[in-house]
Amino acid sequence: MSADFVDDLVQAVKRVLEPDIARLKEVLIISGMPEETQNLRYLGFNRQCVHKETVTIFFSAVAIINNRRMTVWQHKGYMKTISQFVFNPRWTRNELDLFINALRCSPEIIDLIAGSGAPYSLLGILEIEDRNNAGIFKRWSRRIRPVLAIPGIEAPRINTVTAFEKANEIRKRAKRKSM
């Protein structure tokens, strides 16, 4: 773990994809880190795009999390029940709200982040759009998942993060008639 928080966050993002390092560093530096009393700091709009045949991948870094305040920020008891009711995918359309609430309601992830030893983590959104143009109908699928980049965690604990990201994935499918 280096003394430079920005480099640590960029390295942690590489677990999921190879970002445009210069752009990501610029966004992180301009936005700054959360104050000591802030739970998180939202980042300015940024979006990176990668095209691979029929698949397009979009990545956005959306917030820096203050790891030292994770246990205070966690939902417990009736607050957890209320937040899970309010932030339900049936009526909440903002993916970021859903992902932050899922993070706050997950004691395993909260403990993992709080115990990581790093002062900050990065929350991002990964969108994978697959346009399969085979057959009469043009089909596409879109998967939206959180990306939780936590510097300084060991390989076995990364599986917990990956399972959290996969469990909170949002899937959308559509068929359109070809013209």
Rounded to an integer, what distance in angstroms lies between the CA atom of residue 174 and that of residue 165? 23
Q: What is the 3-state secondary structure (H, E, C) of 81-149?
A: HHHHHHCCCCCCCCHHHHHHHHHHCCHHHHHHHHCCCCCEEEEEEEEEEEEECCCCEEEEEEEEEEEEE
Considering the entire predicted model, what is its pTM? 0.86
Around 143, how many Cα atoms within 13 Å sit in the side-chain half-sphere?
Answer: 13
Q: Cβ(130)–Cβ(55) under 8 Å?
A: yes
Predicted confidence pLDDT, tens digits, the chain (179 residues): 344 889 999 999 999 888 889 999 999 999 999 999 999 999 988 999 988 888 899 999 999 999 999 989 999 998 988 988 888 888 888 899 999 999 999 999 999 999 988 999 999 999 999 877 666 666 778 899 999 999 988 888 999 999 999 999 998 776 554 44
pLDDT of residue 26: 92
- Per-residue buried b or exposed e for 7-19, using 16+ beta carbons within 10 Å of the residue's own CB: ebbbebbeebeeb
Q: How far apart are CA 135 and CA 132, in angstroms?
A: 9
pLDDT value for 138: 66
Q: Please tell me whether residue 49 adopts helix, strand or coil conformation.
A: strand
